[in-house]
Chain A
Amino acid sequence: MTSELMNRLQRLFASGKKGLLSIYYTAGYPTLNSTIDIAEALEKAGADFLEIGFPYSDPMADGPTIQQSSQTALDNGMNLNVLFDQLGALRKRVSIPVILMGYANPMIQYGVERFCKKAAEVGVDGIIVPDLPMHEYEQLYSKYFNENNLSNIILVTPQTSADRIHKIDELSDCFIYLLSSSSITGKSLDVNDIVDTYFRRIEDMHLKNPTIVGFGIANKTSYQKACAHHHGAIVGSAFVKYLGATENYLDGISDFIRQFKE
C-alpha cells in the first residue's frame, strides 16, 4: 500500500516508531464539550495516537472508572450524533491518529454504514468494538470499514489460542490490541513472570501486525514493560481517573503524559 492510501494509523506504524503511547478517554467526559480540547492537549503533550470512547449504558468489558465516565457522559447528553458534530472540528486542531472505541449496540442502532462514513468524514482512522465478533464483522460489516479506509482493531488476551491469534493477524491491517491480562479495564497490571512469558510468547509469533498493549497500564513500570516487547501501550482508566479528579485537567495533561514518556 502506498502511503497516500494509508490512514494515519497505518502511516504511524509504517514509520517503524516504537514506544508509542496512546491515551483512551470517554467522549463527553468530564463535560459534554471537553472532547476536542482534551484531544488537542494530548497531542501537544506528546501522545502518539488517541482512542476516543463513545459511551454505552452497559459496558461489559469495563471496570468502575470507565463505566462511571460513560454514565456521566450519557448524563451530559453525549451520543453519536453529538460526537460526530464535535469531531467535525477534529482535523482542524488534531493531527495524530484517532480511533473510536465503543460497544456494538450504539453503532448498530446508528447504522454501521452511516457510522463508518461519518467516522471517515471527520478524520477517524480506526474503530475498536470489543463485543463485535469476527465472523459477524467479516460477513456484515468489513465492507463498510474497507470502503472508508478504517482499520478494525481486534483484541487478543492471554487466553486467546495461537490459531485464533493468526486469524486475527490476517484480519487486521494496522495493529493488534494486546490485553495485558484477562480482566476488565482499570485493574493495575502486576508485572510478574506470567506477563513476561505471555509478552514474549506473542513477540515470538512474529505477527505481521504490530502489537500494542492495553488494560492495566497505569504507570511507567508497566508502560516500559509493554514497550520492551511490543510497539507501545495504551493508558485508559488511569487517564480517565485523572480527568475526574483534577479541576483544571487540561493544564495538567502534559505532566500526566510525562509520567510515562520523557
Chain B
Amino acid sequence: MKYGVNDLGYYGDFGGAYIPEMLYPNIEELRQQYMAITTDKSFTDEFDRLLKDYVGRPSPLYLAKRFSERYGANIFFKREDLNHTGSHKINNAIGQILLAGRLGKKRIIAETGAGQHGVATATVCALKGIECVVYMGEIDIERQAPNVARMKMLGATVVPALSGSKTLKDATNEAMRDWINNPVDTHYIIGSVVGPYPYPDMVARFQSIISAEAKKQLFEHTGKHLPEYVMACVGGGSNAMGMFYHFLDDESVKLVAVEAAGKGIDSGHSAATSVLGREGILHGSRTILMQTDDGQVVEPYSISAGLDYPGIGPQHAHLHKVKRAQYVSITDDEALQAGLLCSQLEGIIPAIETAHALAQLEKMKFKPEDNVIICLSGRGDKDLATYIKHFNF
C-alpha cells in the first residue's frame, strides 16, 4: 500500500515508537506478533463471526434521500452508529481483545475521552471475562456520567486521571504508566490510530472493515466501484482511517477529514490539529500535535469529547502532509446545527463527533452525479444533555 506503514513503523516522516525502555518489551511483542496473529484463520474466523453476530455487521450503507436533495449529490451514510455500543469503536475493541487473549494477557487497560472507547472495551472484557481498568480524565468523568455508569455496569473499574489537564491526553498518560507498572500480564487497548507503532497500523486494520464493506455496498447501490468523496470526522482519527483505508490507493476518490474547530480556529479554544499543530512527538509517535513553542502539549478544546485531542494519528499526519486527504474544520455551533438537521431530515440523531463531518456538507460543492460516503461514526444518545442544553428542548 502506497500510504501504508513501512518496516520501521513510519508513514513518511511520521510514526515510529518513541517510548521509554520500560514499554519496549510490550511494544516489541506486539510488533513481532500482531500481523501473524491477526491474519491467522482462527483469528479472522472469530473476528468475523463476532462482528456479524455480536456487533451486528455489516452496518448498512444508507442513501440519505433528504440530505441528497439538500446537498445536490448522492449522500450515503455508513451506519456505524447502528453497531452494538453505538459507534465504530467496538470494531477495534473486538480485534484487540482477541489479540490480547492470544498473547495470554489477563488484564486489559484502556483510556477514554467521551467514554465510547471505554464502553466498547468494557463490553468486550465482559464478553471474554477479563479484568478491565479504564482511565478517564476527572473532568471527562463529570461531563460523561452516563458512559461512566455503563462501564461500571459492565464490570469495569473506572480510574480518574488526576494529572495535567485531567482529560483524554492525561488519561492516555495514566494508561501508559499503568502499562509500565504492569508489563507482563496486561494489554493496553488503545482506542484510536495513535500511539507507538504498531498501534496506528493495527487499529487502522481493525477499523478498515468500514471501508471494505462500504466499497461493496456502494457497488450494490450504484453499480460503481468508487465514490467521488469519502468523508469522516477526526479526533485521533480511527473512524476516518477505517473509512479511508480501502480508498487510499484509489487516487480519484477525494478524502475529506473533518477536525473540531471548537469555538473557532483562532479562538484559543480549538482542536483543529492540522491547522494549529506542528510536527513533534505525542504519546509515542512522531506526528502533528498542538504544542507551545517550547514543545509542551497544549490542551485542546471541542464541545465533542471524542475530538478533544491535541494530536492526530501519524498516518493522518502523513496523508495531510502529502495532501492525499484534505483536512478541514467545523466549529461547535456548526456541528450542533448539523446534528439537529440530520435528526430532523433523516431521523438519525448523530454523535456530536459525527455531526462535525455532516456539517462539512454545507461547505462542499458537489455535482449531481457525485456519490459521497460519509461515516456516521456514532449515535447521539450520549450527547443528548449537550443537545438539550444548546437547543433548550
Contacts and interface: CB of A to CB of B under 8 A. Distances in A.
A104 interface: yes
Contacts of A57: 164, 296-297
A109 B180 contact: no
Given A131-B18, A155-B20, A58 B297 contact: yes
Nearest to B165: A57
13 contacts: A58-B173, A58-B297, A61-B180, A67-B163, A71-B164, A105-B297, A110-B295, A130-B20, A131-B281, A133-B19, A159-B22, A184-B180, A187-B181
| Among all A-B residue pairs, the 9 with the closest Cβ atoms | A109-B295, A106-B295, A79-B294, A155-B21, A130-B20, A57-B296, A61-B20, A159-B25, A105-B281
Interface residues of A, number: 41
B291 interface: yes
B280 A108 contact: yes
A67 B173 CA distance: 11
A61 B22 contact: yes
A38 B296 CA distance: 25
Given A61-B20, A104-B281, A105-B282, 6 more contacts: A56-B296, A60-B19, A60-B177, A67-B164, A159-B25, A159-B184
B295 A56 contact: yes
A105 B295 contact: yes
Interface residues of B, number: 33
Interface string B295-318: 111000000000000000000000
B160 interface: no
B25 A60 contact: no
Contact of B8 (A135, A155, A157): A135
B297 A60 contact: no
A184 B21 contact: no
B175 to A, nearest CB: 10
Given A131-B20, A159-B25, A179-B21, A109 B181 contact: no
B301 to A, nearest CB: 16
Interface of B: 8, 16-22, 24-25, 163-164, 169-170, 173, 176-177, 180-181, 183-184, 278, 280-284, 291, 293-297
A105 B18 CA distance: 10
Contact of B181 (A136, A156, A182): A182
A15 interface: no
A191 interface: no
Contacts of B163: 64, 67
Given A61-B22, A108-B295, A160-B24, A136 B183 contact: no
Contacts of A160: 21, 24-25
Given A104-B281, A105-B281, A109-B293, A58 B169 contact: yes
Contacts of A240: none
Given A57-B164, A58-B169, A63 B177 contact: yes
Given A61-B180, A131-B284, A105 B21 contact: no
A182 B163 CA distance: 21
B231 to A, nearest CB: 31
A207 interface: no
Contact of B183 (A58, A131, A155, A159): A159
**In this complex, which of A81, A156, A159, A161 has the most chain B Cβ atoms within 10 angstroms of its Cβ?**
A159
B19 A131 contact: yes
A135 B16 CA distance: 10
Interface string A41-74: 0000000000000001111110110010001001
A154 interface: yes
Contacts of A80: 294
**In this complex, which of B22, B24, B164, B296 has the most chain A Cβ atoms within 10 angstroms of its Cβ?**
B22
A194 interface: no
A133 B164 contact: no
B16 A136 contact: yes
A132 interface: yes
Given A67-B163, A108-B280, A182-B181, A157 B296 contact: no
Given A58-B169, A109-B280, A182-B183, A104 B8 contact: no
A86 interface: no
A261 to B, nearest CB: 27
Contacts of A64: 163
**In this complex, which of B19, B164, B180, B278 has the most chain A Cβ atoms within 10 angstroms of its Cβ?**
B180
Interface string A132-146: 110110000000000
A110 B18 CA distance: 17
A187 B284 CA distance: 23
A99 to B, nearest CB: 16
A60 B173 CA distance: 6
Interface string A94-115: 0000000001111111100000
Contacts of B173: 58-60
A154 B21 CA distance: 8
Contacts of B294: 79-81, 106, 109-110
